[in-house]
Structure 1
Amino acid sequence: MEVLIPGQERLMINHLVLDFNGTIALDGQIFPFVRDKLVALDKLVKIHVLTADSNGSAYRQCEGLPVEIHVIGKDNQREEKSNFVRRIAPGVAVIGNGVNDELMFREADLSIAVIGKEGCATATLMASNIVVKDVVDGLDLLLMHHRLIPTLRK
Structure 2
Amino acid sequence: MIKLEIPERNSLELHHAVFDINGTLAVDGVAISGVAERLQKLSEHLTIHLLSAGTHDNISGLEQTLGYKIHITHRGEEKLRYVRELGPSKVVTIGNGANDSGMLRLAALGIAVVNLEGGSIKALVAADVVVASPIHAIDLLLKPKRLIATLRG
TM-score (ref. length: structure 2): 0.94
Once residues 72 and 43 of structure 1 are traced to their aligned partners in structure 2, the CA distance between those partners, rounded to angstroms, is: 25
Change (3 A) 1:65 1:25: closer
Q: Please name the residue that 2:57 is paired with.
A: 56
Once residues 144 and 127 of structure 1 are traced to their aligned partners in structure 2, the CA distance between those partners, rounded to angstroms, is: 23
| Residue deviations 1:82-118 (CA, integer Å, cap 9, x gap) | 1110110131001100000011111100000011011
Name the aligned partner's letter for residue 81 of structure 1.
K
Once residues 127 and 120 of structure 1 are traced to their aligned partners in structure 2, the CA distance between those partners, rounded to angstroms, is: 12
Once residues 138 and 8 of structure 2 are traced to their aligned partners in structure 1, the CA distance between those partners, rounded to angstroms, is: 23
Q: Please name the residue that 2:19 is paired with.
A: 18
SS in 2 for 1:142: helix
Once residues 64 and 79 of structure 1 are traced to their aligned partners in structure 2, the CA distance between those partners, rounded to angstroms, is: 27
Comparing both structures, which one devotes a greater share of its residues to helix? 2
Change (3 A) 1:66 1:43: farther
Q: Please name the residue that 2:9 is paired with.
A: 8
Q: Please name the residue that 2:126 is paired with.
A: 127
Deviation above 6 Å: which 4+ runs of structure 1? none
Unaligned runs of 5+ in 1: none
Q: Please name the residue that 2:82 is paired with.
A: 84
| Residue deviations 1:25-80 (CA, integer Å, cap 9, x gap) | 0010000110110010010000011101122212222226453421113xxx1111
Q: Would the aligned equivalents of 1:42 and 1:66 in 2 still touch at CA under 8 Å?
A: no
Unaligned runs of 5+ in 2: none
Matched, 1:96 2:95: yes
Q: Please name the residue that 1:113 is paired with.
A: 112
Count of aligned residue pairs for this structure pair:
151
What's the % identity of the aligned pairs? 38
| Residue deviations 1:107-139 (CA, integer Å, cap 9, x gap) | 100000011011110011001100001110011
Name the aligned partner's letter for residue 100 of structure 1.
N
TM-score (ref. length: structure 1): 0.94
Name the aligned partner's letter for residue 92 of structure 1.
V
Per-residue deviation, 1:10: 1.4
SS in 2 for 1:100: helix
Name the aligned partner's letter for residue 58 of structure 2.
S
Q: Would the aligned equivalents of 1:5 and 1:152 in 2 still touch at CA under 8 Å?
A: yes
Q: Would the aligned equivalents of 1:125 and 1:131 in 2 still touch at CA under 8 Å?
A: yes
